[in-house]
């Protein structure tokens, strides 16, 4: 277990505690040099970290093994991300302002029936467009983008030594030294493996990209669908999300990974005629972390984004949290360097992890509760769909999702909401129990799909 | 959102009785087994190569690929309109849910009249049958005939009458029996009659505990369920706090 509190000491005149004044500069002696940071992984997390690091005048190397690749991803970002990361509207392929939720018994619930489309929409974009935009910005700020695959990291024995990163680029093996590493290399993170960050449980997301004929595609112009039911996913949901000129049709699961193909087939059956005439142009799958790794900061290495496991339950959202955590980590490193003159494990935990947990743990916990209550059986999914038809729920959900702020509404409304939720859950649970009783009576069990 | 303890404690028996692969759900959920069978391909493909994730590029130019997937679960295949090229595979004709009282995506309440009033019991029974059917034969969702029925159409008093009252009767009976024998027992031990017992704080506490106990622990299984519930609801939090646990234990070293 790496509990190396490894202060990387530079000869400096003063050792300060956490800062109080921006104008207090550490005097750096001539023999020391600027901090070298390596960000491994050039997705939203890595690029944001590189941008923040470069802004703090830290020598930054951003490693990306596949700059032109497209990632299997829903491609939906919350509205607040446009503003927080100054994303130009030209990146967006389409605005999804209608969201259709379908319960196991096919009860539809149209989200945003009660909301205006101009201010409540989900921007959909292509990952390759977003990722390369952020990497370009990192390059502009001064980061060096290294197209290469990192194959190994040598963890130093003492605090004075740097990390040695071995990578292949343009066919040759090269090494580079770095004082601080930000691991942003996704769900199968190599950095996490090298530093012993621990494992996490993953869900698998499997999706097909289907090109539909124009008449079918017009139905999905600004509409995304979410299918609930144990036939399409026992513990998650299946989706049809419109992308630039095709739809992404997929499903995910934690517990039934071996049946993913049959779950996908059931999704096709459920979507029915809406996908008629489509041709499959791509099939892709990827693991999605279910919870953070046990150790997100080890030594002078910090994990961000999917590598750290920042994907919410219930909605499976990760892009925003990846970018935000990358930015927070980069800023934390910059602050530590500027104010304390050294980057340590304790410092990283204090400035990055603690701030991250304080800000977002509540939201992650809340979504986990929603997941546990509503996703685990058909009755819960029915109740969720019924609740989502309600105007108040839609408003609050969009506020929380699009603005990423957990707000509490007026207490009377919250109580009414709780009452209605409990009522809906109980009714559907009772019906579920009756179905079980009927099954026992008739002696039949559903066949495994 | 408020807490949901009453409904939660009853999910576990129902899910455990389900199809056996859902039993694995709970076990897998509680153990952290890494089941990424699909993603065994490692990332070491050298610089700049894609496809470390299991992607396959299928350049299919006919609708047959999509159609074949539909065969496995095809229901209203004839209405899907892509049949030109699909005549080769066998279509499993699974009938969709049909009931003369299910009209236009909801139950036609006029057909449930009994003695001039709607027979809600029959509506509940019909909906239960529909849901059981749908579990066994999932249907395609359709925009032409969307489902409109939702459980709030059935009035609240019907739910209470059918589901709550019988159980309330059972629990009240049990509580009364336990209460009577405990009162007798305490009287024989301490000589305090019923009126004296009720005046005592300790006795009142015991009474409260007994009532709450009967409410939450109705069967022996409930004790296990409550323990599992507590374990599960704190599980996610423990995973997040794992980083800080390490820090605390290393400080002690």
Q: Is residue B242 part of a domain?
A: yes
Residue B196 resides in a domain: no
- Tell me the C-alpha distance between B250 and A415, whole Å: 44
Span A226-267, pLDDT tens digits: 999 989 999 999 999 998 889 999 999 998 888 899 999 999
Q: Is the dihedral of CA A35, A39, A40, A42 positive or negative?
A: negative
Integer angstrom CA distances of residue B30 from A259, A362, B215: 20, 22, 27
pLDDT of A16 over the 60 cut:
no
Do B11 and A278 lie within an 8 Å CB cutoff?
A: no
Mean pLDDT of A428-440: 88
A284 part of contact set with chain B, CB < 8 Å: yes
Task: Give tens-digit pLDDT for A103-126.
Answer: 988 888 888 767 777 777 889 988
Query: How many angstroms separate the CA of residue A273 from the nearest CA in chain B?
Result: 5
Name the residue in chain A with its Cα closest to that of B24: A255
CATH number for A9-69+128-200+291-367: choose from 3.40.190.10, 3.50.50.60, 1.10.1380.10, 3.40.640.10.
Answer: 3.50.50.60
What is the number of residues in chain B? 253
Looking at chain A from residue 298 to 357, which residues have their Cβ under 8 Å from any Cβ of chain B? 313, 349, 353, 357
| Alpha carbons B123 and A206: distance in angstroms, whole number | 39
State whether residue A361 sits within 8 Å of chain B by CB. Answer: yes
Mean of per-residue pLDDT scores for chain A: 86
Report d(CA B129, CA B137) in Å as an integer.
12
Both structure tokens of A402? 């699009």
Split at pLDDT 50, 70, 90, the class of A137 is very high
Cβ contact A170–B151 (<8 Å): no
Q: What is the CA radius of gyration of chain A?
A: 24
Contact call for residues B138 and A266 (beta carbons, < 8 A): yes
* Residues A353 and A333 sit within 8 Å (Cβ to Cβ): no
User: What was the pLDDT predicted at B250?
Assistant: 55
User: pLDDT tens digit string along B23-39?
Assistant: 444 443 444 444 333 33
Q: Chain B within 8 Å of A444 (Cβ-Cβ)?
A: yes
How many structural domains comprise chain B?
1
pLDDT tens for A308-365 read: 999 998 888 999 999 999 999 999 999 999 888 888 899 999 999 999 999 999 889 8
3-class SS of residue B80: coil
Q: Is A151 on the interface with B (CB under 8 A)?
A: yes
Residue B15 within a domain = no
E strands along B26-133, which residues? 102-103, 106-107, 113-114, 117-118
In angstroms, the CA A248 to CA A73 distance is: 9
Helices vs strands, H then E, count in chain B: 9, 4
Binding-face residues of A in 86-115 toward B, CB within 8 A:
102, 104-108
* A264–B43 CB contact, under 8 Å: no
pLDDT at B29: 40
CA-based torsion, A136, A138, A143, A144: positive or negative: negative
Inter-chain residue contact B66 with A279, CB threshold 8 Å: yes
pLDDT at residue A9 is higher than 60: no
Q: What percent of chain A has pLDDT over 90?
A: 49
**Does the beta-carbon distance from B243 to A292 stay under 8 Å?**
yes
Contact B132 A190 (CB under 8 A): no
Is residue B241, in this structure, part of any structural domain at all?
yes
Per DSSP, the three-state class of A3 is coil
Q: What's CA A59's distance to the chain center, in Å?
A: 27
- 10 Å CB burial of residue A135 (0-12, 13-18, 19+) is buried
Q: What's the gap in Å between the CA of B142 and the closest CA on chain A?
A: 7
Q: Is residue B225 part of a domain?
A: yes
pLDDT in tens, A34-81: 889 999 999 999 999 999 999 999 999 999 998 887 788 888 899 899
Quote the CA–CA distance of A385 and A407 in Å, as a whole number: 22
Burial of A2 (0-12, 13-18, 19+ CB in 10 A): middle
pLDDT at A26: 39
For the record, the structure tokens of A155 come out as: 């963890």
The answer to whether A337 touches A58, Cβ cutoff 8 Å, is yes
- Bridge partner residues of A297 (DSSP): A302
A59: exposed, middle or buried (Cβ count in 10 Å: 0-12, 13-18, 19+): middle
Residue B185 CA to residue B187 CA, distance in Å, equals 5
Q: Token pair for residue A386?
A: 């019924």
The segments of chain B whose pLDDT lies below 50 read 1-93, 251-253
- Greater pLDDT, B33 or A92: A92
Closest CA to A285 of A312, A328, A252: A252
Token pair in block for residue B24: 């694995």
**Per-residue pLDDT, A322:** 95
Q: What distance in Å separates the CA atoms of residue A150 and residue A43, rounded to the nearest whole number?
A: 15
Helix, strand, coil fractions of chain A, as percent rounded to 5: 40, 25, 35
Q: How far is B187 from chain A (nearest CA, A)?
A: 41
CB atoms within 10 A of CB A1: 11
Handedness of CA A334, A340, A342, A343 (dihedral sign): negative
Pair of tokens at residue A404: 């990423």
Q: What are the distances in angstroms from CA A353 to CA A184, A197, A337? A: 15, 14, 16
What per-residue confidence (pLDDT) applies to B156?
A: 87
CA–CA distances in Å: residue A194 to residues A60, A150, A165, A377: 20, 11, 11, 38
Task: Tell me the shortest Cα–Cα distance from B184 to chain A, in angstroms.
Answer: 38
Q: Which residue among A280, A370, A430 sits closest to B60, beta carbon to beta carbon?
A: A280
Which residues in chain A are contacts of B104 at CB distance < 8 A? none
Q: Which of B15, B43, B53 sits opposite A284 (nearest CB)?
A: B53
pLDDT of residue A405: 78
pLDDT at B51: 39
**Cα separation values, B241 from A4, A184, A315, B245, Å:** 19, 21, 22, 6
The DSSP bridge partners found for residue A223 are A98
The predicted pLDDT at position B167 comes to: 86
Q: What is the pLDDT of residue A445?
A: 61
pTM > 0.80: no
Structural domain boundaries enclosing B236: 218-248
Over residues A353-397, the pLDDT tens digits come to 999 999 999 889 888 888 988 888 888 999 999 888 888 888 888
User: What does DSSP assign to residue B97?
Assistant: P
pLDDT of residue B95: 63
**Cα of B36 to nearest chain A Cα, Å:** 7
Of the listed ranges A147-151, A398-402, A409-413, the one predicted with least confidence:
A398-402
Cβ-based contacts under 8 A for chains A and B: 314
Could you state, in order of their start, the residue ranges of all structural domains in chain A? 9-69+128-200+291-367
A55 min Cα distance to partner chain B (Å): 27
Residue B77 per-residue DSSP state: G
Residue A372 has its nearest CB partner, among B43, B232, B247, at B232
């Amino acid at each position: 277990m790496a509990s190396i509190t490894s202060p990387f000491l530079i000869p400096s005149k003063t050792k300060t505690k956490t800062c109080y004044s921006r104008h207090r500069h550490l005097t750096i002696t001539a023999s020391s040099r600027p901090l070298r940071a390596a960000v491994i992984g050039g997705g939203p997390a890595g690029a944001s970290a590189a941008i923040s690091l470069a802004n703090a005048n830290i020598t930054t190397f951003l490693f990306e093994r596949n700059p032109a690749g497209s990632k299997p991803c829903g491609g939906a970002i919350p509205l607040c991300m446009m503003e927080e990361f100054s994303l130009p509207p030209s990146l967006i392929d389409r605005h999804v302002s209608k969201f259709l939720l379908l319960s196991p018994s096919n009860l539809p619930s149209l989200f945003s029936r009660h909301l205006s489309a101009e201010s409540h929409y989900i921007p959909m974009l292509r990952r390759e467009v977003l990722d390369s935009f952020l990497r370009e910005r990192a390059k502009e700020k001064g980061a060096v983008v290294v197209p290469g695959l990192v194959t190994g990291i040598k963890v130093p024995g003492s605090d004075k030594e740097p990390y040695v990163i071995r990578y292949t680029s343009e066919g040759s093996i090269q090494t580079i030294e770095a004082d601080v590493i930000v691991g942003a290399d996704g769900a199968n993170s190599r950095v996490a493996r090298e530093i012993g960050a621990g494992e996490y449980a993953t869900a698998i997301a499997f999706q097909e990209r289907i090109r539909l004929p124009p008449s079918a595609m017009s139905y999905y112009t600004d509409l995304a669908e979410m299918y609930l039911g144990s036939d399409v996913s026992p513990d998650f949901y299946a989706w049809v999300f419109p992308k630039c000129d095709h739809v992404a049709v997929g499903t995910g699961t934690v517990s039934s990974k071996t049946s993913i193909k049959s779950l996908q087939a059931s999704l096709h059956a459920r979507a029915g005629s809406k996908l008629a005439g489509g041709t499959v142009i791509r099939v892709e799958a990827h693991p999605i972390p279910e919870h953070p790794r046990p150790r997100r900061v080890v030594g002078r290495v910090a994990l961000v984004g999917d590598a750290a496991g920042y994907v919410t339950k219930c909605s499976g959202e990760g892009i925003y949290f990846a970018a935000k955590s990358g930015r927070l980590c980069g800023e934390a490193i910059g602050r530590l360097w500027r104010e304390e003159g050294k980057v340590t494990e304790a410092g990283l935990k204090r400035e990055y992890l603690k701030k991250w947990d304080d800000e977002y743990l509540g939201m992650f916990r809340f979504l986990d509760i929603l997941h546990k209550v509503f996703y685990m059986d058909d009755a819960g999914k029915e109740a969720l769909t019924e609740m989502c038809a309600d105007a108040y729920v839609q408003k609050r959900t969009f506020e929380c999702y699009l603005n990423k702020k957990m707000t509490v509404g007026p207490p009377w409304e919250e109580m009414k909401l709780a009452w209605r939720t409990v009522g809906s859950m109980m009714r559907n649970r009772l019906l579920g129990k009756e179905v079980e009783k009927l099954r026992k009576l008739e002696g039949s069990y559903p066949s495994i799909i | 959102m408020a807490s949901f303890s009453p409904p939660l404690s009853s999910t576990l028996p129902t899910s455990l009785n389900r199809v056996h692969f859902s039993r694995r759900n709970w076990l897998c959920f509680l153990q952290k087994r890494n089941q990424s069978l699909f993603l065994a391909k490692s990332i070491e493909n050298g610089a700049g190569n894609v496809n470390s994730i299991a992607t396959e590029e299928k350049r299919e130019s006919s609708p047959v690929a999509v159609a074949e997937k539909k065969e496995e679960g095809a229901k209203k295949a004839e209405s899907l309109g892509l049949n030109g090229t699909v005549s080769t595979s066998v279509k499993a004709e699974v009938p969709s849910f049909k009931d003369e009282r299910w009209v236009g995506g909801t139950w036609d309440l006029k057909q449930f009249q009994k003695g001039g009033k709607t027979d809600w019991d029959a509506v509940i029974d019909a909906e239960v049958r529909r849901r059981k059917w749908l579990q066994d034969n999932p249907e395609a969702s359709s925009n032409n005939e969307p489902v409109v029925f939702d459980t709030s159409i059935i009035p609240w008093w019907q739910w209470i009458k059918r589901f709550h009252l019988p159980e309330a009767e059972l629990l009240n009976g049990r509580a009364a029996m336990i209460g009577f024998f405990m009162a007798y027992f305490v009287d024989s031990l301490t000589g305090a009659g019923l009126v004296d017992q009720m005046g005592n704080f300790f006795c009142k506490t015991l009474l409260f505990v007994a009532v709450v106990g009967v409410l939450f622990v109705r069967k022996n299984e409930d004790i296990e369920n409550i323990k599992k519930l507590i374990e599960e609801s704190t599980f996610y939090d423990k995973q997040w706090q794992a980083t800080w646990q390490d820090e605390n234990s290393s400080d002690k070293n």
